[in-house]
């Protein structure tokens, strides 16, 4: 008889929810903007198909966007093909993990755990990784999350889950399977991978979750917006992203990709490898972000720099370096009131290689460093930290 949940094993881990603190800009304002995702609202949000009736072009683009695939059931064919009948022995702890399908469910078996565990969901679009997770109730009946220590990576390899390397020394018990989160952190994790969690306090019900980051996560007040359109109102009751300040904009993305004010001030420095994963934090420290109002574009408008400057949120990010170089040239040129040109390389060279390099954070994974800067100056700007060259 397969054990479907690991709750018979005593849970000895109580994890802190999220990093918090009075993080400061190293340069610029300490302004904070509060934004609470409506993933726990009483009313189910407007379905995406309602949005598509008027915004079909964006919906077609969004079908290929990673955000829409950031949470999938473990029984999804695209998940099963990556895990079923595969096994891996992690070099970090020596344990062997075997994935298999049984009773129309995905399971994992570990040689150091007494019974197989059913996998319920998978976090991640597959662009960077796909991490299996299991849900089970704690002693209070609240949903808790087990994030498995083995993930799938785009190299098609199975390896240790990014961020769980420190668990590798655990040789027995549930810790050998992965990281257990309390209910608060469980809700936060699912809240960043779903459009709606339902209205069952203390419980995450898999049958009511709206998986993936869909229209309603970024465009609030959908129901009021539709009613306003039907009435022909001038006020369409929908906040346009362009009406947000650049800081508000990157902080909206940062609710899931991490905001600078969720970190302590002394954590925000180039020697902190963790920041490679948190694009909005790096952006908030970049001269391109902090000095954007000093730049006048060719059309006379003041420059604007936020996540959407380079990434269309409705589709997959471009992989073409030339695409991003052209964006850099919108602000960097010999024109009056433009940002300076590169002093070492031709402006025909690829800017990202030096100023936004891809940094290996894992055997199977690299992230683009979004702290845009002249790296040779790091030692001068941050003398209190021992600087390292990018990996």
Residue 92 covered by a domain: yes
Q: Do 196 and 119 have their domain in common? A: yes
Domain limit, last residue, from 215, 230, 257? 215
Residue 18 covered by a domain: no
Whether residue 113 contacts residue 158, with contact meaning beta carbons closer than 8 Å, is answered with no
- The pTM is what? 0.86
In whole angstroms, what is the distance from residue 196 CA to residue 257 CA? 18
Residue 103 covered by a domain: yes
Domain limit, last residue, from 169, 200, 215? 215
Residue 363: partners with Cβ closer than 8 Å, 6 or more residues away: 159
Q: Do 41 and 183 have their domain in common? A: yes
DSSP state of 127: S
Vertex 37 angle, CA 32 and 40, to 5°:
140
Q: Encoding tokens for residue 180? A: 């257990």
Q: Do 64 and 206 have their domain in common? A: yes
Q: How many structural domains is the chain composed of? A: 2
Q: Do 193 and 272 have their domain in common? A: no
pLDDT value at position 283? 96
Q: What share of the chain is helix, strand, coil (3-state, %, to 5)?
A: 30, 15, 50
Residue 185 covered by a domain: yes
Chain CA centroid to CA 130, Å: 12
Residue 165 covered by a domain: yes
Q: Do 64 and 201 have their domain in common? A: yes
Domain limit, last residue, from 180, 215, 250? 215
Residue 231 covered by a domain: no
DSSP state of 362: E
Q: Do 288 and 361 have their domain in common? A: yes
Q: Which residues of the chain have pLDDT under 50?
A: 1-35
Q: Do 41 and 187 have their domain in common? A: yes
Nearest of 150, 180, 189 to residue 7 by alpha carbon: 180
Residue 295 covered by a domain: yes
Residue 9 covered by a domain: no
Q: Please, which contacts does 320-329 make with residues 24 or more away whose CB atoms are closer than 8 Å?
A: 321/350, 321/352, 321/353, 322/350, 324/351, 324/352, 324/356, 325/350, 325/351, 325/352
Residue 190: partners with Cβ closer than 8 Å, 6 or more residues away: 39, 71, 145, 197, 204, 209
Half-sphere exposure of residue 129: CA atoms within 13 angstroms, side-chain side: 24
Q: Encoding tokens for residue 26? A: 């190293």
Q: Do 201 and 319 have their domain in common? A: no
Whether residue 327 contacts residue 375, with contact meaning beta carbons closer than 8 Å, is answered with no
Q: Encoding tokens for residue 112? A: 């150091």
Q: Do 317 and 359 have their domain in common? A: yes
Q: Do 289 and 178 have their domain in common? A: no
Nearest of 148, 129, 134 to residue 82 by alpha carbon: 129
- Full residue range of the structural domain in which residue 80 is found: 37-215
In whole angstroms, what is the distance from residue 298 CA to residue 306 CA? 19
Whether residue 46 contacts residue 221, with contact meaning beta carbons closer than 8 Å, is answered with no
In whole angstroms, what is the distance from residue 149 CA to residue 132 CA? 8
Q: Do 303 and 361 have their domain in common? A: yes
pLDDT value at position 389? 56
Task: Give, in order, the Cα–Cα distances in Å from 94 to each of 82, 88, 169.
Answer: 22, 10, 10
Kindly report the length of the chain: 391
Strand ranges in 86-193 using DSSP code E only, listed in sequence order: 86-89, 96-102, 105-110, 117-119, 121-123, 131-137, 143-148, 150-152, 158-160, 178-181
Q: Do 246 and 209 have their domain in common? A: no
Whether residue 43 contacts residue 213, with contact meaning beta carbons closer than 8 Å, is answered with no
């Amino acid at each position: 008889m397969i054990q479907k949940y690991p709750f018979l094993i005593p849970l000895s881990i109580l994890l802190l929810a999220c990093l918090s603190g009075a993080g400061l800009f190293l340069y610029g304002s300490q302004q904070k903007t509060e934004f609470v995702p409506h993933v726990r609202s009483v009313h189910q949000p407007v379905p995406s198909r309602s949005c598509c009736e008027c915004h079909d072009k964006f919906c077609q683009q969004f079908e290929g966007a990673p955000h829409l695939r950031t949470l999938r059931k473990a029984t999804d064919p695209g998940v099963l093909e990556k895990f079923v009948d595969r096994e891996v022995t992690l070099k970090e702890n020596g344990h062997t993990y075997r994935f298999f399908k049984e009773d129309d469910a995905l399971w994992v078996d570990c040689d150091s755990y007494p019974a197989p565990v059913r996998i319920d969901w998978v976090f991640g679009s597959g662009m960077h990784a796909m991490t299996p997770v299991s849900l089970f109730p704690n002693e209070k009946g609240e949903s808790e999350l087990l994030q498995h220590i083995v993930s799938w990576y785009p190299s098609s390899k199975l390896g240790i889950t990014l961020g769980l390397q420190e668990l590798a020394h655990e040789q027995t018990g549930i810790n050998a399977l992965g990281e257990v989160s309390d209910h608060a952190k469980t809700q936060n994790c699912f809240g960043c991978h779903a459009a709606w969690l339902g209205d069952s306090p203390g419980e995450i019900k898999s049958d009511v979750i709206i998986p993936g980051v869909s229209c309603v996560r970024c465009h609030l007040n959908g129901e009021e917006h539709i009613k306003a359109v039907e009435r022909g109102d001038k006020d369409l009751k929908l906040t346009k992203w362009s009406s947000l300040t650049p800081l508000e904009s990157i902080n909206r993305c940062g609710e899931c990709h991490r905001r600078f004010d969720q970190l302590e001030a002394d954590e925000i420095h180039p020697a902190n490898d963790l920041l490679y994963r948190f694009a909005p934090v790096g952006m908030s420290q970049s001269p391109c972000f902090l000095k954007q109002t000093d730049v006048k574009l060719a059309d006379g408008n003041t420059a604007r720099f936020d996540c959407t400057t380079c990434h269309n949120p409705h589709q997959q990010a471009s992989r073409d370096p030339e695409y991003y170089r052209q964006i850099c040239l919108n602000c960097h040129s010999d024109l009056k009131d433009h940002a300076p040109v590169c002093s070492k390389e031709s402006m025909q060279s690829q800017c990202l290689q030096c100023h936004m390099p891809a940094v290996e954070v894992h055997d199977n994974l690299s992230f683009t460093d979004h702290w845009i800067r002249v790296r040779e100056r790091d030692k001068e700007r941050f003398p209190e930290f021992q600087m390292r060259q990018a990996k």
